[in-house]
Structure 1
Amino acid sequence: MEASGEGTARPITFVGEPVLHRPCEDVTGFDEELVTLVADMFASMYAAEGVGLAANQIGVPLRVFVYDCPDETEEYRRGVVVNPTLVLPAEDERRLDDYEEGCLSVPGQRASLARPDRAVVHGFDVAGAPITVEGTGLLARCLQHETDHLNGTLYVDRLPAERREQVLAAYERERDQAAVTG
């Protein structure tokens, strides 16, 4: 089973929705329902102009994410990881990359966040076969960001408290302004 086809773009779930703030459940069925979900996730990610998307970002509390982003060599990598386990370099081998990070679930906002510049994710493809994805550069950040989502953590949760409050306040101002003018 391959995650192909067009898929249907679903609405993105925004910060504050409970599904984003609790750990997701393991996927147990590697079936057509999962294939459809993955196709919809890719369609949703592309429609929102993202480089990664976790299932809970479209309201589905399952441990699966998709990605389509470059590594440090600018080679685009595309895939899906079901039931991921993130492995980061040991602290004494870790090099942090401080980069402006954003999130489809906190639209319009970005903040500098240091993350390891390398990451490995072990998991499964849509057919249930074991896979390993090794990432560098933006792909490493994406693997960490999406795995965080599945654990109920948003990038803003990793920011210092004052910066987190600033980002969320700016998001709420823009959301409220859009509601008034929209």
Structure 2
Amino acid sequence: MAILKIARMGHPVLLARAAPVADPTGPEMRRLVADMAETMHDAGGVGLAAPQVHVPLRLFVWRSPGGPVGGGASVLFNPVLSPLDDEVVTGWEGCLSIPGLRGAVPRARRIRFAGLDGEGRPVEGEAEDMLARIMQHEADHLDGTLYTMRMPDLSRLGFNEELARFAPPKPGGEGSR
């Protein structure tokens, strides 16, 4: 396994639509998934999309919210996500491709997802709250969308240190985290 270089905001790979993965079971895909998981864990992230490591393919990895940073990662190839209802919540997001910043981003609270797992088998399910946010954030990367592009109010974008120092309230008025 290897730690991969993470593309930062401004690199064209982050603004392009990624191509579908033809065969998730090939050795190059297994190696990529393992390297992406190791890179995500090394960087302290909770999710990582292939375009973020300069690979324009439709897959992302994530770790369960609240799970250990070095814990196992899940993968979804060729994901399709859709909201389960109209409920949208605004929450703080950061991104490994936009280091040092975070912003308040509205997302569907509950989603349905479908795609292929690491063995190439169809998988589908539902996610809510933090897991739904992670999956939507990573799926956005596959379409060339960064979280800042989803922000309706750029006054809610700031450097992590400043936001922590001034303890902004969570979007929705629930206090800071």
Q: Same fold judged by TM-score > 0.5? A: yes
Q: Closer, same or farther in 2 for the Cα pair 1:75/1:11, shift >3 Å?
A: closer
The runs of 5 or more residues in structure 1 that have no matched partner are 1-6, 172-182
Q: Runs of at least 4 residues of structure 1 off by over 6 A?
A: none
Amino acid at match of 1:134: E
2:64 pairs with one of 60, 63, 69: 69
1:11 pairs with one of 5, 15, 26: 5
User: Once the 2 structures are TM-superposed, how far is the Cα of residue 103 of structure 1 from its aligned partner?
Assistant: 0.6
Please name the residue that 2:141 is paired with. Answer: 149
SS at 1:85's partner residue? Answer: strand
Instruction: Determine if contact 1:87/1:120 at 8 Å carries over to the other structure.
Output: yes
**Counterpart check, 1:138 vs 2:138:** no
**Counterpart check, 1:43 vs 2:32:** no
Please name the residue that 2:93 is paired with. Answer: 101
User: Once the 2 structures are TM-superposed, how far is the Cα of residue 55 of structure 1 from its aligned partner?
Assistant: 0.3
For 2:14 and 2:103, the matched residues in 1 are separated by: 19
Alignment length (residue pairs): 156
Per the normalisation by structure 2, the TM-score is 0.81
Report the identity percentage. Answer: 40
Instruction: Determine if contact 1:88/1:118 at 8 Å carries over to the other structure.
Output: yes
* Aligned pairs for 1:119-130 within 5 A: 119-130=111-122
* Aligned pairs for 1:74-93 within 5 A: 78-89=73-84, 93=85
**Counterpart check, 1:27 vs 2:17:** no
Per the normalisation by structure 1, the TM-score is 0.79
